[in-house]
Amino acid sequence: MTLIADFTGQTALVTGGASGIGRAVARDFARAGARLIVADRDAIRLCETVAELAALTPTPVDGVELDVTDSARCDAVVAQCLAAGGGRLDVLVHSAGIGIERPFLDTTDAEWSRIIDTDLTGTFAINRAAGRVMAEAGYGRIVNLASTAGVAGGTGRAAYGAAKGGVIMLSRVLAVELAAAGVTVNALAPGAIETELVARMHSDTTRKVYRRAIPADRYGTPEEVSAAALFLASREAGYINGHVLAVDGGFLAAGVMHKD
């Protein structure tokens, strides 16, 4: 892969960085020279990821355990990033999240709360923690992972779609509020991407339906989403703010398609 930008001298925090899209993003930041902090709630996978990334770069890579539903812990992790990064945090790519595929009428209170608490409130907590220090420093890049489910309605996505739609609007509001402080906030809306989360959420029937609705006629890769994340996190993307970039093989653009 050809890297889009050079992050030498910058400190980047990647949440959910021990698996899926987050791991691909962390890998690319390591290759791009960033001083990297990988956060995840899975301690075992976190250790494996840090060991893998440390072999890719001479720049230090740290791992920190983080459950984004704990706002105090989000504040503490950002403080750790400042200590590790010499008093600076330049980039946050927030990829931590969970998913569920459940018909609306069958969704329980507990399922709804778990998705909203992790995917939406967790985004609020880590964005607030990072946004405060970035605004004070006068520079920052925040990239939040949303989903096409937050843009287009789909069966089984009541809780997940509501949470990701909230992530999109939260990102837009933060983009407006933090722009004068030199901080940009954008969101990515991945479509069907080959990750462990999607493997759990997408049944064989769901996969067939998606494939028929995607002009590219395939699922995407975590590396394709990572390339978009690194671009939005770069200095070169400084005039892109409040944007929602779909990485979906044309899914959101498509109308009626004839496939043989």
Name residue 189's beta-bridge partners: 246
251-257 long-range CB contacts below 8 Å, 24 or more apart? 251/148, 251/152, 251/191, 251/192, 251/210, 251/213, 251/214, 251/215, 252/148, 252/151, 252/152, 252/189, 252/191, 253/215, 254/213, 254/214, 254/215, 257/212, 257/213, 257/215
List, as one string, the DSSP characters of 174-231: HHHHHGGGTEEEEEEEE-SB-SHHHHHH--HHHHHHHHHH-TT-S-B-HHHHHHHHHH
Q: Given the structure tokens 């899209």, which residue do they identify?
A: 21
- 160 noted as active-site residue: yes
Is residue 11 within 8 Å of residue 64, measured between CB atoms?
Answer: no
From the list 139, 160, 210, 219, the catalytic residue is 160
Among 90, 87, 32, 30, smallest CA distance to 62 is for: 30
Distance CA 171, CA 126 (A): 12
Among 137, 132, 130, smallest CA distance to 74 is for: 130
Q: Given the structure tokens 């990334």, which residue do they identify?
A: 53
Q: Given the structure tokens 């489910």, which residue do they identify?
A: 149
Residues identified as active-site: 160
